[in-house]
Each structure stands twice: as C-alpha cells, then as structure tokens.
Amino acid sequence: MNELIRLLSYMIGIAAFLGLNLAYLGWVERKGAGHFQRRTGPKEVGPYGLLQPLADGLKLMSKQLIIPANADKALYMCAPILIMVPAVLLFVAIPFGEHLVPREFNFGLIMMFAFASVGGLSILIGGWGSGNKYSLIAGARAVSQNVAYEIPMLLTAINIVMITGSMDLNEIIRQQGSYFWNWNIFRLDKSVLMPVSFLVFFICSLAETNRTPFDMGECEGELVAGYHTEYGGMGFGLFMMAEYANLVIGCSLTTILFLGGWQSPIGIWPGPHWFLLKMYFLVWCFVWIRWTYPRTTFWGLLNLSWKYLIPFSLVNLLLTALFIKVF
C-alpha cells in the first residue's frame, strides 16, 4: 500500500514537473530567442506572455489530424507517442535530491542511455512513416548523427563509471563531495582531461537532443521541417514537447555526471534546489547556444564527432585508467 502511494505520488509529480517544463521551456526559448535578437518575444498573452504556452496548446489540440495519403498509417501514428514515452520514462532514474528519486537503480546510467537511443529510432520511424522524401532524409540524418554522437557520449560516461565504480546515478552524485572542486568536472586527480571530458559530453548532449547547431533532423532551409514535416496538431506538439523533455534529461544527466547533482557547490544546504539551479543553467546555455550559432553542415557534424570528440574521449579514457591504476 505504501509502495502504491509512493508510485502514484511520483507519477503525478513527474507528470506535473514534465508538463510545466515542456510548456514553459518553450516560453523561455522564445523569450530568449527574442532578447538575443533584441526583440521582446511573446508578451501579448498574459503578463510577459506567460499564458502563451496555454494558447499554443489549445491551438495544437484543436487542430484537425490529417494523415497524408501515402503515409504508413501505423508508423505515422505511433512515432510521436514513441518519442514521448522514453522521454517521460527516463525521469524515473533521475535523482532530484538525495532522497527525492523515483527509483534508485544500480544500473541507472545504462537505463538512461538505453532509452535515450529509442528517441533516435522514433525520429526515424516518424520520417519513414510520413511517406515524404524530406522526412525520410531528415530521419536518416538524425539517426546517423545519433549513432555518431552516442560513441563519445558513452566513452565519456565510462570515465565517470570508472571513477565512481558505480552506475547508480545517486551514488555518482554522492561520491562527488559537497564542494565544487569535488565535482567530476574538476577532478583533475582522476584525469587531467576532465574539463575537456565535460565539454565533450555537453556537445554530445547538444547533438543527441537534436538542437542547433546540430539540428540536422529538422533543418528548415533544406528539409521543410525535417522529420515532422507531415505532422500537424498534437502530433507535431508531441515532437516539440519531446525535444524539451530530452533537453531537460540531457541537462540533468550532465548535471549528475559532472556538476555534482544535488550537492552544494559551497558546502551548505545540499538539496533539489541546487540540482534544479544547475540543470536550468545548462538549459539556458542550450538556448543561448541555439540562438548564437548557425547550423553546421552534415559533413562538419560528423567530422567533429569522428575526428575530435571520439579521439579526445578515447585519450581521456586511457588517462583515467592510468590515473586510477597509478594513484
């Protein structure tokens, strides 16, 4: 019975947290986009445009669902759901605070990566099922991009696993002490390349969440709207929401692995507020990056991964192994 209440409260809590994030990260992004370009962003609906997400949601939900004539109907329908499910599911393993974690897995990190890769698959399904050449090209691009960037991401994650000796996300946080020089990003005693490693992971999470400058999956200039060209109404809405959910997850994972999760940087009051603060700072960096850099070419994107990120993460892996063995 106790377990049931726990389950229910976490489900409601995660749904509420996710819903609020998905709605208002869109607002943050548009406000940010506006101000980075010296515009104001949404401001008409409600004070500071705060009711804009509500208006968007109403509009998307009231739209007619049109299935293209030559679409694969089953795949077309299931792609938006399939992209949303892992996004929601992944919150199960994220430790917001020391005791505020839905489920403490001893293989949380693996679970994160396993379900995150479903996101790439659902983009491919959406692109394929639409029966549109642009969608198909975008889907193929997104998958090859995800494959290319999963390698350095995993190699970097293995560093952390080697240092902490655990795949439990909460344990990884616990081992990073309560001062910022104990965070994995600054643990130079484990590997001198740890800050570089953080950068590699950050770039990879940018690419994994298909965000600018790596949004090859939906480059509007060439592919209309990429893999969600044929989606309208809430199908499109789900793709949009999944993007923000993946953004939150990517930033949470970076926070957990490198920035000490709920640990306090100055040694006082560790708790979920530090986690949220770090996570939202990273989210803000994502928004900042999105409205600063233009989209890379597909060639440049794969070049960066295979020629820079993978060699660096491999070198870092060797260094970490050496440091752990020697010291």
Partner 1 sequence: MSGYFTDIITGLKSLAVGLQITNKEFLTKPITLQYPHEAVKMTPRYRGHIELIKDPETGMNKCISCGMCEKGCPSGCITVKSEKRPGVKGKVLTAYILNFTTCSLCGQCVENCKPGAIGFSNEYNLASTRREDYIFDLLRKLHPEGIPEPEVDPELLKKELEKQEAAKQAAAAKKEPAKKAPAAEGGELKAEEKS
Burial of 28 per CB tally in 10 Å (0-12, 13-18, 19+): middle
**293 part of the interface to partner 1, by CB under 8 A:** yes
As given in the structure block, the two tokens for residue 112 are 């994160």
Q: Determine if 308 is a binding residue for partner 1 (CB under 8 A).
A: yes
Token pair for residue 250?
A: 């990517």
Site string for partner 1, 169-198 (x = CB under 8 A): ------------------------------
Q: Work out whether 13 is an interface residue with partner 1 (CB under 8 A).
A: no
Min dist. Cβ of residue 97 to partner 1 (A)? 31
Does 306 bind partner 1 (CB under 8 A)? Our answer is: no
b/e for 224-249, b at 16 or more Cβ within 10 A? bbbbbbbbebbbbbbbbbbbbbbbbb
Which of 117, 123, 118, 120 has the alpha carbon at shortest distance from 75?
A: 123
Q: Tell me: does residue 32 bind partner 1 (CB under 8 A).
A: yes
To 10 degrees, what angle do helices 108-129 and 233-258 make?
A: 150
Q: What is the Cα gyration radius of the chain?
A: 20
Pick one of 35, 59, 99, 133: the residue that binds partner 1 (CB under 8 A). 35
| 289 belongs to the binding site for partner 1 (CB under 8 A) | yes
Of 6-14, 31-39, 60-68, 125-133: span binding partner 1 (CB under 8 A): 31-39
Contact status: 36 vs partner 1 (CB under 8 A):
yes
- Select 101 or 203, whichever has its Cβ closest to partner 1: 203
Binding-site ranges for partner 1 (CB under 8 A): 32, 34-40, 288-289, 291-293, 308
